[in-house]
Amino acid sequence: MAVSESYSVESAKSSLAQDLLKKIKQSSANVGVIGLGYVGLPLVELFCRQEFSVVGFDIDDAKVDRLNAGESYIGHIPSETVAGLVSDHQFEATNNFDRLKEVDIIVCCVPTPLTRHREPDLTAIIATAEAILPRLQPGQLVILESSTFPGTTDEIVRPILEQNGLEAGRDFFLAYSPEREDPGNKTHTAKTTPKVVGADGDDALAVASAIYDRIIDATVMVSDSRTAEAVKLTENIFRSVNIALVNELKIIYDRMGIDVWEVIDAAASKPFGFMPFYPGPGLGGHCIPIDPFYLTWKAREFDVPTRFIELAGEINTHMPNYVLKKLAEALNDNFSRSVKGSRILILGIAYKKDVDDMRESPSLVLIERLEEAGALVDFHDPFIPLVPHTREHDALSGRASVDLSPEMLESYDAVLLSTDHTPVDYKMISMNAPLIIDTRNKAYRGPDAKAVIVKA
Ligand SMILES: NC(=O)c1ccc[n+]([C@@H]2O[C@H](COP(=O)([O-])OP(=O)(O)OC[C@H]3O[C@@H](n4cnc5c(N)ncnc54)[C@H](O)[C@@H]3O)[C@@H](O)[C@H]2O)c1
């Protein structure tokens, strides 16, 4: 591993790499970003800020039209930013993949979900590579940013791109650089978070590091693309395993009458050797519930067990059941009510605090399970006015967030605090709702709180 120092043009062996390094230094390299979602769009902004011209590619015509009309669909990228880039002719979105021929650098940020059988779904990566193939130009740099298992860039993308005779490392350059975007994080932005880069070959590493050096504060080079792919999965498995651990501790300590949040906060006073992770109602987001299974799938090829990673997934997936059990017990013990027929308000359906992304959110599982059990369920989320289309929970799409008021809070049998957004008035909720099931340790517990509060 090495933190990259800016490459001199002479450091590249081939003239194609030297030409590209020159263009990168002068900001005259044209950049194409494929996949204009939560990862691709912030990246467009970073490139544009350093005076690069960017063409954004997406198969979603509605997104292309909205961006070209100067409209953002991502909470933390203001529409004014997009409008400014479009009117300055620095950025243009398109669904015309022939325009890939115009760019010097192609960065791929397409989705990598799981199939119904929880196996890696590389459809978008393969489609992207196949879209690049007939347009691939000598000297172009192709970088994959999607989270995926070690070997994807080298074993899947590279053979597709080489089908027409151009060779990676000689005629074009291929690299992998994982995205570390953390939506909602105000301390560490995409620019200040170091970027890991791996490539198969010195020239590919030189050009890939050089372009990230221009837009990000520090670039960390690793030996090859598969190491860089493993870095991303390791980071997310680390989170999944540690979250599973505190989720399990929550259940154990609850039975012992010990508050897990108090334990974690006190343990975090240790200045070394402990890092706090917090329990919740389950795991959500595009990364942590999915990425670990990219590694377990690949590990099967090598006949190595991945019990630890799978166990973490199992514990985290089970958490909504635990929360529902606590809710049913609390209704029964305090109000002699059953879940069936109860009116439940889910507070927060985004997968985490202060973001407008609800992919894989455990709140959706909670809504479905409660409705299956006969409850009448509403939700409130200041960041998500309407449930969008999702692959797994499409029956919920179009549902609208309800407004909060003292009267309506009184009308529910329970509030299930699933995601702890900052703008929510937790005091008002505790002063009016009869029961709060608190999965985030966020409920207001002052002397004037009326609600029975149960941590879950
Ligand atoms: N969202 C995050 O916070 C985050 C963080 C780190 C890594 N990642 C990884 O980055 C990748 C992208 O994630 P995202 O959150 O930006 O996804 P996203 O769903 O927000 O965006 C993906 C975009 O790609 C487009 N797309 C799909 N197939 C395409 C194709 N064949 N050609 C062109 N465009 C296509 C979609 O229309 C969409 O606009 C994934 O691998 C994800 O795991 C995401």
Q: Which of 222, 249, 265 represents a domain boundary (last residue)?
A: 222
pLDDT at residue number 149: 98
- How far does residue 147's CA lie from ligand 1's centre (Å)? 9
Both 260 and 211 in one domain: the answer is no
Q: Is 108 known to be catalytic?
A: no
Q: Measuring from each residue's beta carbon to the nearest atom of ligand 1, which residues come in under 6 Å?
A: 34-40, 57-60, 63, 109-112, 124, 127-128, 146-147, 179, 181, 183, 286-287
- How far does residue 100's CA lie from ligand 1's centre (Å)? 18
Both 253 and 242 in one domain: the answer is yes
Which residues constitute the domain of residue 125? Answer: 2-222
CATH number for the domain that contains residue 170: 3.40.50.720
Both 90 and 233 in one domain: the answer is no
CA separation for the pair 286, 111 (Å, rounded): 9
Both 273 and 132 in one domain: the answer is no
Taking CA 275 as the corner, what is the angle to CA 269 and CA 281, rounded to the nearest 5 degrees? 110
Strand 376-380 versus strand 343-347 pairing type: parallel
Q: Which atom from ligand 1 is nearest to the alpha carbon of 36? A: 39
Both 319 and 368 in one domain: the answer is yes
pLDDT at residue number 2: 65
**Alpha-carbon 13 to chain mean position:** 37
Distances (CA, A) of 18 to 12, 161, 224: 6, 21, 20
CA dihedral 342, 348, 350, 352 (to 10 degrees): -120
The residue whose C-alpha atom lies closest to atom 44 belonging to ligand 1 is: 39
Both 63 and 170 in one domain: the answer is yes
CA separation for the pair 362, 319 (Å, rounded): 9
What does the block give as tokens for 97?
A: 């993949």
Both 317 and 347 in one domain: the answer is yes
Return all residues near 288 (Cβ < 8 A) that are at least 6 apart. Answer: 236, 239, 240, 243
The residue whose C-alpha atom lies closest to atom 35 belonging to ligand 1 is: 35
Q: Which residues pair with 273 in a beta bridge?
A: none
Q: Which atom from ligand 1 is nearest to the alpha carbon of 287? A: 43
CA separation for the pair 78, 201 (Å, rounded): 38
Element holding 333 (H helix, E strand): helix 307-335
Q: Which of 177, 194, 222 represents a domain boundary (last residue)?
A: 222
- How far does residue 37's CA lie from ligand 1's centre (Å)? 5
Both 411 and 352 in one domain: the answer is yes
The residue whose C-alpha atom lies closest to atom 36 belonging to ligand 1 is: 35
Both 451 and 356 in one domain: the answer is yes
- How far does residue 446's CA lie from ligand 1's centre (Å)? 43
User: Got the DSSP string for 43-107?
Assistant: HHHHHHHTT-EEEEE-S-HHHHHHHHTT---STTS-HHHHHHHHHTTSEEEES-GGGGGG-SEEE
Taking CA 306 as the corner, what is the angle to CA 155 and CA 193, rounded to the nearest 5 degrees? 65
The phi, psi pair for 301, rounded to 5°, reads: -60, -30
Distances (CA, A) of 166 to 21, 97, 160: 20, 19, 10
pTM, entire model: 0.93
Q: Which atom from ligand 1 is nearest to the alpha carbon of 128? A: 31
The residue whose C-alpha atom lies closest to atom 28 belonging to ligand 1 is: 124
The residue whose C-alpha atom lies closest to atom 43 belonging to ligand 1 is: 147
CA separation for the pair 336, 342 (Å, rounded): 11
Q: Which atom from ligand 1 is nearest to the alpha carbon of 124? A: 31
> What is the b/e burial string over 83-122, where b = at least 16 CB atoms within 10 angstroms of the residue's CB?
eebbeeebbebbeebeebeebbbbbbbbbbebeeeeebbb
pLDDT in tens, the chain (456 residues): 666 655 666 678 899 999 999 999 999 999 999 999 999 999 999 999 999 999 999 999 999 999 999 999 988 899 999 999 999 999 999 999 999 999 999 999 999 999 988 899 999 999 999 999 999 999 999 999 999 999 999 999 999 999 999 999 999 999 999 999 887 788 898 899 999 999 989 999 999 999 999 999 999 999 999 999 999 999 999 999 999 999 999 999 999 999 999 999 999 999 999 999 999 999 999 899 999 999 999 999 999 999 999 999 999 999 999 999 999 999 999 999 999 999 999 999 999 999 999 999 999 999 999 999 999 999 999 999 999 988 889 999 999 999 999 999 999 999 999 999 999 999 999 999 999 999 999 999 999 999 999 999
Contact 357, 390 (CB under 8 A): no
Both 383 and 400 in one domain: the answer is yes
Both 327 and 354 in one domain: the answer is yes
- How far does residue 111's CA lie from ligand 1's centre (Å)? 4
- Ligand 1 probe mutation, 58, 193, 195, 361, most atoms within 8 A of CB: 58
Both 212 and 302 in one domain: the answer is no
Q: Which of 222, 257, 276 represents a domain boundary (last residue)?
A: 222
Closest CA to 146 of 121, 163, 168, 170: 121
Name the domain count of the chain.
2
